[in-house]
Amino acid sequence: MSSSDQPFGEASAASLAAERPPLFTIGYGARTLDEFIAALKANRIEYLIDVRTAPYSKFKQEFSKELLQHHVERAGIRYVFMGDTLGGQPKDPACHTDGKVDYDKVRAQPFFQAGIERLKKAFQSQRRAALMCSEGRPEQCHRSKLIGEALAAAGVPVSHIDEDGQVLTQTQVIDRLTKGQMDLFGQSSFTSRKRYAPLEEGGGSNSS
């Protein structure tokens, strides 16, 4: 099922009166499935948005799409796949520079912009949603370097649940990544950590 087939629900009148929550992110990293779900519960997450391009894990099969969806929905959390629009390894060769995914190029793509628009609607709906990927450390993942930066530019607050369960702002995570050293204009261009060939259908790794 594509991301467009899974709309977010309308917010209740009570939630509209409450302070609007940020969008969260989380990576499973070294967590067990139980620990992962516990972290979601601790932050009162209602929607888990999977932003892995290939939502499967060779070494932690419980985090593969179908099993993960089964377990999180049993825990009362709705699973939504958006790796087709917000994944960290787009298939389009135009998104790569010197073998790495160039996040500036990805942000210019219509498919990515459509995904960001859906996240903005999720934020406006007042639902507590978390974007998920495989990398436990948010500063090493496209959750912060690509999606978080795009959301921040759109005025959407982002909170990252890190590998230790601490909740960090987008600014704090980017400071971790850059050691506080941005360019003269307060900006930085990010790429994937590794070099990838553009993914074929169903292949590849989830590292960012």
Instruction: Give one word for 204, left, alpha or beta, with left for phi > 0 and alpha for psi -120 to 50.
Output: left
What is the percentage of the chain residues whose pLDDT exceeds 90? Answer: 69
Contacts of 177 (CB under 8 A, 6+ apart): 139, 140, 144, 145, 190
Question: What is the C-alpha separation between 46 and 54, in angstroms, rounded?
Answer: 23
Please give the pLDDT value at position 188: 52
pLDDT in tens, 45-95: 999 999 999 999 889 999 999 999 999 999 999 999 999 999 999 988 999
Q: Residue 132 carries which DSSP code?
A: E
Highest mean predicted confidence (pLDDT) among 25-29, 182-186, 193-197: 25-29
pLDDT at 1 over 70: no
pLDDT band at residue 179 under the 50/70/90 scheme: confident
CB distance 36 to 28 below 8 Å = yes
Model confidence at 148, in pLDDT bands (50, 70, 90)?
Answer: very high
- Find all residues with CB under 8 Å of 83, minimum gap 6, and list them: 50, 51, 52, 53, 54, 55
Residue ranges of E strands in 151-190 = 158-161, 167-169
In the structure, what pLDDT confidence band is assigned to residue 184 with cuts at 50, 70 and 90?
very low
pLDDT tier at 180 (50, 70, 90 boundaries)? low
Any residues with CB less than 8 A from the CB of 40 and at least 6 apart, and which?
26, 48, 72, 75, 77, 130
Rounded to an integer, the average pLDDT of 82-110 is 93
Determine the pLDDT at residue 181.
64
**Angle of helix 33-42 versus helix 65-74 axis, rounded to 10:** 50
- The CATH homologous superfamily for domain 18-183 is Tetrapyrrole methylase, N-terminal domain (3.40.1010.10)
Tokens 């507590």 sit on residue: 128
Q: What is the mean pLDDT of the chain?
A: 85
pLDDT of residue 22: 97
- Determine contact, residues 171/144, Cβ cutoff 8 Å: no
